[in-house]
């Protein structure tokens, strides 16, 4: 007997739709990498898009959509980790790039 009766399997159409969104978000990330955008803004947008992609992957491909506590306990540490990486690694490194000579 199932503990949660409203838990349903994902359809192939749903998985392809999620895959399409992941592909679209990846294309947007690649597009932004080649655009002349301020470094801080670009890194913030790229990390935000990566968080959205990781949430989609965890919710649909790791089947955590129906396990709210598991989803929250997975997304919150990932978000904190990404913010710490931005503040401690990416932003200081991007500031270093502004002091390099232009060729």
- Per-domain residue ranges of the chain: 12-96
Per-residue pLDDT of the chain (103 residues; tens, 9 = 90+): 444 545 556 688 888 999 999 999 999 999 988 888 887 788 888 888 988 998 888 888 777 777 778 777 877 888 888 788 877 877 777 677 677 777 6
What's residue 23's pLDDT? Answer: 95
The single residue listed with the structure tokens 């002349």 is 36
Closest CA to 48 of 36, 59, 63, 32: 32
What's residue 88's pLDDT? Answer: 80
Question: Is the dihedral angle over the CA atoms 35, 36, 39, 40 positive or is it negative?
Answer: negative
> Which long-range contacts does 82-87 make (Cβ < 8 Å, 24+ apart)?
82/47, 82/50, 82/51, 85/47, 86/43, 86/44, 86/47
């Amino acid at each position: 007997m199932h503990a949660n009766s409203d838990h349903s399997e994902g359809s192939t159409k749903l998985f392809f739709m999620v895959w399409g969104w992941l592909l679209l978000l990846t294309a947007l990330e690649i597009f932004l990498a080649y655009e002349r955008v301020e470094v801080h803004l670009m890194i913030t947008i790229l990390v935000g898009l990566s968080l959205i992609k990781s949430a989609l992957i965890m919710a649909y491909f790791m089947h955590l959509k129906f396990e709210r506590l598991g989803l929250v306990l997975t997304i919150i540490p990932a978000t904190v980790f990404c913010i710490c990486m931005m503040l401690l690694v990416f932003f200081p490194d991007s500031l270093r790039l502004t002091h390099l000579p232009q060729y």
